Structure 1
Amino acid sequence: MQDWLVEVLVTYKEVAVVISLLVNILISIFGVIPSVFITAANLLVFGFWKGTFISFLGETIGAILSFWLYRKGFKRVVGNKLNKYPLVSKLLNTRGKDAFLLILSLRLLPFIPSGLVTFASAVGTVSLIVFLFASSIGKIPALLIEAYSVDQVTNWTTEGKLILSILSLVGLIYIIRNISKNQKENK
């Protein structure tokens, strides 16, 4: 996917930024597709800082549009069903400063899916303005870490090799634990 996107961005360089933003917005709306491949493509085509900025802009615009669409499409349906669960209800009813800090914190955590944070915020009571600022501020360090990691891996530096080794080890541990868990459940 990344190679295809790089090819498209290079081929249509006059509108490459617009294409990149549109792809990022679509990824945000779908909410389950990782954005790391578009970040990698942006870094390869535009360079580190410009590529990171374009990724940030695309993710921010995508988050705002996703928030608006999710709120219009899911708030009434999902909100009423989730209110039956006290902990979820508390999260969905967080407002103001508490909502800002919660969204900011969740954006800083790299293992929390961005689409999940946007969806929970949209079906909750947080305002668009609070979501916009908390989400955007939280995306800055998270995206810088992602961009740095992608840059190191694509340039195959020592840090990139270390990052891939750690990710491989974590993936291997995860697979072994799941296999072990499944074996215990089947006995």
Structure 2
Amino acid sequence: MEERMIEFLQAYGGAAYFLSLACNVVISVLGVVPSAFLTAANLTVFGFWPGFWVSFAGEAIGAVVSFVLYRKGLRRWSETTWLSHPKVKPLLHASGKEAFGLIFALRLLPFVPSGAVTFVAAIGRTSLSVFATASSLGKLPALWMEAYAVHQFLEAAWEGKLMLAVASIVLLWFVWRKIGQKAAG
């Protein structure tokens, strides 16, 4: 997918910046598609720092657009049972400084789904300005780590990529096995 995105962006020259931003907005609105492939394409097409800033702008704009759309269209979901989970309630009921701190912290954690944070904040009490500021500031270090890792992977020799692939497969197998043991026991 990354190669297709690189070809797509390269084909449009100067408009590639705007197309990358648009793709990031779509990814953010969908809420479940990882953006690492787009970050990798941006780094390849634009270079490290310009690619980083295009990715950051796209993710920040995408988060705000998603927040507004979720707030307008999905607020009725605020009554669903999973939103009563104790780990969701703090963000759902937070506002002001508390919401800022929660959103900022959740954006720093790479394993917390971005779409879920945006959705819960949008149907909760968080204002758009607090969300936009906290989300963007939290994305800066998280995206820098992602961009740096992707850049290092892209620059690695094939041996390093092979070792990483094997390690990933072993880790996935181990996790899958642990999940299966918990479900059986």
Q: Under a length normalisation based on structure 2, what TM-score does the superposition of the two structures give? A: 0.89
- Name structure 1 gaps, 5 residues minimum: none
Cα deviation per residue 1:120-164 (whole Å; 9 max; x = unaligned)? 110110000000110000000000000011011111169877765
Q: Counterparts of 1:14-163 in structure 2 under 5 Å?
A: 14-75=14-75, 77-81=76-80, 85=84, 87=86, 88-156=88-156
Secondary structure in 1 aligned to 2:74? helix
Indicate the residue corresponding to 2:178 in structure 1: 177
4+ runs deviating over 6 angstroms: 158-162
Stretches of structure 2 lacking an aligned partner (at least 5 in a row)? none
- The structure-2 alpha-carbon separation of the partners of 1:44 and 1:115, relative to structure 1 and needing over 3 Å to count, comes to same
How far apart in 2 are the matches of 1:83 and 1:144? 32
* Number of residue pairs aligned between Structure 1 and Structure 2: 183
User: Quick check: 1:5–1:41 contact (8 Å CA) kept in 2?
Assistant: yes
Task: Percent identity, please.
Answer: 44
Distance 1:58 1:47, change over 3 A: same
Over residues 57-98 of structure 1, what are the superposed CA-to-partner deviations in whole Å (9 max), with x where a residue is unaligned?
0000000000000000011x1123459837344431111111
Deviation of 1:52 after TM superposition, in Å, equals 0.5
2:5 equivalent in structure 1 = 5
CA contact (8 A) 1:82 1:89 kept: no
Q: In terms of mean alpha carbon deviation, does 35-44 or 9-18 score higher?
A: 9-18
Distance 1:162 1:83 in 2: 39
Amino acid at match of 2:172: G
Looking at structure 2, the residues matched to 127 and 4 of structure 1 have their Cα atoms a distance apart, in angstroms, of 37
Q: Say what the alpha-carbon RMSD is for the aligned residues.
A: 2.2
> TM-score scaled by structure 1?
0.89
Distance in 1 between the 2:161 and 2:136 partners? 26
Pair 1:165–1:80, CA change in 2 (3 A): same
Aligned partners of 2:145 and 2:2: how far apart in 1?
19
**Aligned partners of 1:83, 1:154: CA distance in 2, in Å?**
39
